[in-house]
Amino acid sequence: MTTLLASFLGQFLPYIIAGITALVGVTGYVWNAKRKAKAEGVAQQQAKEAAANAKDIDIIHRATGAQPVGGVSDDPDNRDNAKG
């Protein structure tokens, strides 16, 4: 019985090895493709966040030079200036 099994296995051993090798290769290819896609997604998200941060920093830089236009007494809606 063992001889029959060894004979049968001996015939198909190259095919079994080739199948296992192909399975490992395909699994590695898919895993690598998923890893690259995830890395690209992370890079895109980081680029989006960097652009938003740059916009916020630009707004802050423009606001640093802000000067008051006048005093409170110059405000037309100031109730202390209201007549009547």
43-82 residue pLDDT tens: 999 999 999 999 999 888 888 776 666 666 666 676 676 6
- Residue 7: per-residue pLDDT: 79
More confident call, 22 vs 12: 22
Asked whether 72 and 78 are in contact (CB, 8 A), the reply is yes
- Please give the DSSP secondary-structure letter assigned to residue 39: H
d(CA 74, CA 29): 71
Query: At 61, which amino acid appears?
Result: H
Give the global pTM: 0.49
Side chain identity at 72, as an amino acid letter?
V
Compute the mean pLDDT over every residue in the chain, rounded to the nearest whole number: 84
